[in-house]
A and B are shown apart, each in its own frame.
Chain A
Amino acid sequence: MTEPTTDQAHPLVQISNVTKYFPVTSGLILQRKVGEVRAVDDVSFTINRGETLGLVGESGSGKSTLGRCIVQLHKQTAGGIQFDGVELNTLGDKEMRVMRRRINMIFQDPYSSLSPRMTAGGIIGEPITIHHLAENDAARRERVAELLHIVGLNPYMADRYPHEFSGGQRQRIGIARAIAAAPDFIVADEPVSALDVSIQAQVINLMQDLQERFNLTYLLIAHDLSVVRHISDRVAVMYLGKLMELAPCDDLYETPLHPYTKALLSAVPVPDPEVEEQREHIVLQGDIPSPLSPPSGCVFHTRCPMAVDECRVTVPEFKEVAPNHMVACLRVGPDAI
């Protein structure tokens, strides 16, 4: 094949200026709005066909909220999300339901994301029924058996209930369900962080195999930077609802430009004592500020080792400073201060 696997001219998902605020209310009856949590604040990027985009950030950075907006589990407050050229916000319930066949999600917690009262076969078969993908019951059962086989489980396990499976096996069921309706795009929200180390590798490999086999596009939301690097083509870094940096995977890990990305990378311990001795460690002071009242100017300035006075007042623009390398920092790039 001469065609590249990722088509940058026609991205699969286009996110433009997406903002999601959650209102904070006070009082039992009147529910006066007293403030808002700025979970996602004016975020724009694209996801290309066939690629894996890693979305990293600490808890409270808004990465899960953004993921949920993309699959329309949350309606965004403002901005647009285009999937394959169609603006999701304009779709009615019925049209959205049809669209959902193509967009799916893998959740973090394999314990609470599966209904305890349904069998594995029922859980995996549900999307097949909803989207009328099987002619009859026998065909559906056959498809479920095939899916179980694809994710590395035994087809005879279809009649078992979730509690009879281990964490890694449950995550495989969640994955089988996510691919049951043959989607194009999967948002995986922390798919391995609840699993043991030795099981994580199994699930990561499975996700990679499925991507190759079914030409899937992934948005991988995770806080584990090593895992993200392992399977992503491009990586976006979020902090307090805003994108800080977005670059091809190797660029981001080898030449991080944003001070937050640098600190984040240096905080990840490497399982090798000799390497650890050599590495430079930037230990950030303090905690992530409250998204109820984010800092003025650059949201990172309160913890940034490079911050100057200007950072307190001016919101940095998210701009391209090297080919395909986007950064939101006043102190990075050709016109840096």
Chain B
Amino acid sequence: MTALVLALDEAGRYVAGAYAVFVALIVVYVAIMAAKLTAIERTLEDLENARREPRR
């Protein structure tokens, strides 16, 4: 199969699409990890508050 040489503007769209996929994957992954870390931080804050409160 011979490669088609595309005009620069059309090729640019494909290249931009491929790089956007890469960036989107990384951003989504980091966002999910950040959400998880925020939840953990909240849990740790709750534990810290519970430790400060006097036990009945």
Q: Do A and B come from one complex?
A: no
Please report A residues at the B interface, Cβ cutoff 8 Å: none
Please report B residues at the A interface, Cβ cutoff 8 Å: none
